[in-house]
A and B are shown apart, each in its own frame.
Chain A
C-alpha cells in the first residue's frame, strides 16, 4: 500500500507537571528543533509513576518510554523524585532482567528552564531507539 517509510520510534514520555512538562513547553516555544517522536503525558510528579503506566505503554506499542521529573532537590512535593529514582530503578532492572533492551526505558531530570535539555534527551533517545527497531516483546497480542 504505502511506500516503505523509514522507521520512526514511538516514545511515550511521562513528564512531571512542575518541571519536565514545562521544560518540554519551553523547548516548543523556544522553537528548538527536536524529533516529534515523543507523545507527552503529564503526571503530577515522577514519584506518582506507577510501574503499570510503563508496562502499559509498552503493551500498547510504545518503542520507548521516558520518565522525566524535577532535579533531585527540586521536587514540588519534596521527595517525590527520590522515590521515583528508587522505584523506577527496580522497573529498569526488571525490564533488563527479562531481556528487554536497556535503551527502551529512560529517565531524565529536566527543569522548567531546560528546554534545550529536554530536546536533547528526546533526540538522544530517538537515536538510541532507532537501531533497536520496533518493540515487539511487550506489545499486546490481539489476533
Chain B
C-alpha cells in the first residue's frame, strides 16, 4: 500500500514546479528572512536546511487574522451580512517538522470537535503538509519523544521526506500525498532496496538521539490535576512577564478573539474578524465587571501548562504539547514547560 520514492536533491525544484503546474498547488517552504525562518511561497531555490521555523505552519489553516463576514447597516434597517470564505487555493507546505505535523492533528481535533469550524475546515482541506524528518541532532529545546512523538513521526503529514545526503526519500502518508507524488511531470524515481535500507537506518539513528524529556508523561495529567491549588504555580510564574510568545508560536494553541472592525459609520460598515488570542494576556478571561477568574500570571501559566498536559488529554486522550520547544527557546525569561511539568509532578505525592 505504501508509496515510497526517491528524489534527487537537484530535482526538488522540478517536483515543486510540477506540483504548481500539474497539481495547481501553491508551494510554500521555509526561507530565512531577517534572521527568521519563515514559510514563504517558493521562489527560485528551496532550502530545507532549517532547524525549525520560528512560527509553526498552523497559520495555513488558522491565520492570525481572518474576516468571517462583512456587515452593512443603515440605522433602523436590517443589516446585510456577506459571508467571506477563504480562497480555495491549494497550498502545499514543504519542510514541516514532525512535531508540527502532530500539531496539525491536534488543531484538527479542536476545530472538528462538537461543531465544525467552517473557516478552519475550508482552509485545512486545501493544505497539504510535506514533512521533513529530523535526522540531525535535536535542538537543546526539543522534547518530542517524551510527549509521544518522534523525529520521524508521520502524524498529520501527507508526505514525509527524509534527507539521505544527495537525495530525499519520499514516503506517502495520505492519499493526497500519493497524488502529489504522482503529479504529472514528477521527477520522483522508484526507491531501491538500498534506499529503503538507508532510510531505516537514518530513522533509527534519528530516534536514538538523546533529547530532554518530560518525566513520566503518562502520569502528568493526574499529577497536574492534583496540583491545581499548589502554591508552586506562583513560584514557577514569578518571572513570567505575561507576553504572548509562548502561545503565538505554539503549534497547537488555538485560542482566538472575535471583534468587529469598522470601515464606515454612516451606514455602519465593517467586518467581523477573528484574530489569535492568548491565555497569557490578562484581558483574555476578564469579565466586563473587571472580575477575572485567572487573575494573575500564576493562574495563567497553570492554564497553559494544564491545557497542554491535562485538559486536552482528558478531552481528547492525547497530550496537546508536541515537544517542538518553541515556548522554551523563545521565552524572554526562561520559563521552561518541561521543567515546569517535571517540577509540579515531583511535588505531588
Contacts and interface: CB of A to CB of B under 8 A. Distances in A.
B263 interface: yes
Contacts of B261: 142
Contacts of A30: none
Contacts of A142: 261, 263, 270-271
A136 to B, nearest CB: 15
Nearest to A143: B67
Contacts, number: 6
Interface in B253-287: 261, 263, 270-271
Contacts of B263: 142
A143 to B, nearest CB: 7
Interface in B268-316: 270-271
B86 to A, nearest CB: 13
Interface residues on A, range: under 10
A143 B67 CA distance: 7
A14 B67 CA distance: 33
B136 to A, nearest CB: 39
Contacts of B270: 142
Nearest to B263: A142
A74 B270 CA distance: 44
Nearest to B262: A142
Interface in A129-143: 142-143
A143 B82 CA distance: 13
A143 B84 CA distance: 10
A143 B269 CA distance: 12
A143 B263 CA distance: 9
Interface string B232-269: 00000000000000000000000000000101000000
A12 to B, nearest CB: 16
A143 B68 CA distance: 11
Nearest to B84: A143
Interface in A15-50: none
Contacts of A143: 67, 271
Nearest to B261: A142
A142 B261 CA distance: 7
A143 B270 CA distance: 9
B64 to A, nearest CB: 13
Interface string A110-143: 0000000000000000000000000000000011
A142 B259 CA distance: 12
A143 B65 CA distance: 10
Contacts of B271: 142-143
A143 B66 CA distance: 9
Nearest to B271: A142
B283 to A, nearest CB: 19
A55 to B, nearest CB: 17
A1 B206 CA distance: 63
A79 B120 CA distance: 56
A118 B263 CA distance: 31
Interface in A34-87: none
Nearest to B264: A142
Nearest to A142: B263
B322 to A, nearest CB: 32
A142 B270 CA distance: 8
B70 to A, nearest CB: 9
Interface string B64-96: 000100000000000000000000000000000
A142 B66 CA distance: 10
B323 to A, nearest CB: 36
B324 to A, nearest CB: 30
Contacts of B67: 143
A115 to B, nearest CB: 31
Query: Which 6 pairs from chain A and chain B are nearest by CB?
Result: A142-B263, A142-B261, A142-B271, A143-B67, A142-B270, A143-B271
Interface of A: 142-143
6 contacts: A142-B261, A142-B263, A142-B270, A142-B271, A143-B67, A143-B271
